[in-house]
Structure 1
């Protein structure tokens, strides 16, 4: 049979997103780490006052209004910011610009599996280094792998742990390639690696508005790095990768830090309560600095529980991957949603 695709595309599995139920489906969705609260009212107001001229004309190719908002909030120069169609777009640009056959992509596992997918598409050699039982960063192995690109998700999914900035600083000082610190969940964490971008020109910190800002459907993210690094990445990005509506809505959301922070605090409070309730049921729970928990059921029957919850209209995430087959990743919902989950689990564990 004739194939139309490159050999690596034929052999790769492709990224499998979390299940998305049809709109209007009555279900408690705790499987893809969406924020349980609505976006900022300021962001919603932008949509209500949409100017049709935004649709007729091409958007700003650099999303400068949004870059200025990020600059104001994070105290970084605008030319240190690159905006993407979700943070995944930034990750893709990095791989396309920096990795190929003979130039390795390195990351510890388990982590965000899109890193693997992007490396396979390129293609580039990928080196996956197992995390230890306590998720300490495998420093020596990462350095020895000598990646053209090294990904560290911090906070990490699905474990929820943060890699301390001093550890990341040491790693950056010992790498010759790019260090990508993926901070998708930073709005629920106590620490950020952002200072490293001014210490090392090969470090880029990547963030998204999907989690803390409750804008997963908008698809808007950004990277922060030295302009010397961004100059090569800008050559690779699509010419108009950010639509005008996303830029306007994201700008309003970014400037409403009080609302975002208030929602994040509610999520963190609910996270603590949910962790306690799960422990009461016998689950082993890792401390988390994200909006989800990695939970090991007392009978290690994670897949069975996942399927039983799905039958009851509750979605959580199950990963059929080494080190994760006995665990569930559970997004922190509203207190009401979390309580409904606990009530369902009372009959399953």
Structure 2
């Protein structure tokens, strides 16, 4: 006898990247964390926190944070929903909109595999549309799949490519359901799809503070959409899904755009150097708009290199699945960390 619903028995849970214990001497380039510390303004909030914020329940709508997002991005505060990481908002979206065989979840592959996990929990039918080799958006196939939600990660992980705004606009115009544009890595990209929320009632753009703002441990994310779309999502979200500390720290980080942009610029410069260094070792490296690169080793022996790096105290991400099992996704670290990685790869390739 099982204690669980058939959908839960049948599904495979999401497997996060390996997280070593704090203080472990390791170079961690496997989960796309920002190598630089959070904004000093955000850290000052923690140092001076009034205990009253812990005694009381938090604002269920994180309005202080919404005001900071509104100031930073120029969107109305009532067009914002806040989540315990953008994964929380993804979960709310699927719970609110996808169901059974008719209200499907659709996305191009390869992409963020949590979309599949969330759909399986409902359960909702999934349609995975393969990306072509050049990673152009397969618009016709995505439209034909007729999803209640069509997820597009842009920049996409693990490929690192961004989807052109005109392609996203065409998709939003042609589908009947929601287009959810996951911009987790947008702070390292050259463009954003945020203007589309003003054009289309069925578009929602998701963001996180985990990457660009160096706050992966805080679990703070949000989405921007027309209030008519958000109204259904507010019914589904947990009543107090964002704690008071996250609201205050996140607001301070959001208001320090200059610091975030300076750190993102350092990552972009390091990304370019890392790409050149890997190519010089014979790797094939896709152009990336994220804080990571997807690299194919010259011998295609990605798993062997992943294990060899791990033995040397360097973690990168290896996906044992078709189309990715000959590749490594490598987060961009500091220049020093990247150089240590390159030296280790030189040794392993010999």
Query: What TM-score comes out, normalization by structure 1 length?
Result: 0.99
Residue of structure 1 equivalent to 2:313 = 313
Alpha-carbon offset, residue 260 of structure 1: 0.2
After superposition, give the CA deviation of every residue in 1:165-188 in whole Å (9 maximum; x if it has no partner).
Answer: 000000000000000000000000
Alignment of 1:317-332 (within 5 A): 317-332=317-332
Alignment of 1:153-302 (within 5 A): 153-302=153-302
SS at match of 2:103: coil
SS at match of 1:318: coil
Separation of aligned partners in 1, 2:323 and 2:284: 14
Runs of at least 5 residues in structure 1 that lack an aligned partner in the other structure: none
SS at match of 1:248: helix
Separation of aligned partners in 2, 1:234 and 1:180: 16
Residue of structure 2 equivalent to 1:56 = 55
Which 4+ stretches in 1 moved above 3 angstroms? none
SS at match of 2:169: helix
Separation of aligned partners in 2, 1:78 and 1:264: 25
Separation of aligned partners in 2, 1:158 and 1:23: 25
Residue of structure 2 equivalent to 1:81 = 80
Separation of aligned partners in 2, 1:162 and 1:333: 21
Separation of aligned partners in 1, 2:215 and 2:112: 19
Alpha-carbon offset, residue 24 of structure 1: 1.1
SS at match of 2:325: coil
Runs of at least 5 residues in structure 2 that lack an aligned partner in the other structure: none
SS at match of 2:294: strand
Separation of aligned partners in 2, 1:207 and 1:182: 7
Separation of aligned partners in 2, 1:348 and 1:107: 36
Alpha-carbon offset, residue 322 of structure 1: 1.4
Q: Note if 1:97 corresponds to 2:102.
A: no
After superposition, give the CA deviation of every residue in 1:28-59 in whole Å (9 maximum; x if it has no partner).
Answer: 00000000000000000000001100110000
Alpha-carbon offset, residue 85 of structure 1: 0.4
Residue of structure 2 equivalent to 1:25 = 24
Alpha-carbon offset, residue 200 of structure 1: 0.3
SS at match of 2:348: coil
SS at match of 1:5: coil
Alpha-carbon offset, residue 145 of structure 1: 0.3
Matched residue count? 348
Separation of aligned partners in 2, 1:132 and 1:318: 21
Alpha-carbon offset, residue 11 of structure 1: 1.1
After superposition, give the CA deviation of every residue in 1:186-230 in whole Å (9 maximum; x if it has no partner).
Answer: 000001000000000010000000000000000000000000000
Residue of structure 1 equivalent to 2:128 = 128
After superposition, give the CA deviation of every residue in 1:131-170 in whole Å (9 maximum; x if it has no partner).
Answer: 1111111111000000000000000000000000000000
Residue of structure 1 equivalent to 2:65 = 66
RMSD of aligned Cα (Å):
0.4
SS at match of 2:173: helix
Query: What TM-score comes out, normalization by structure 2 length?
Result: 0.99
Separation of aligned partners in 1, 2:123 and 2:55: 37
Separation of aligned partners in 1, 2:135 and 2:13: 26
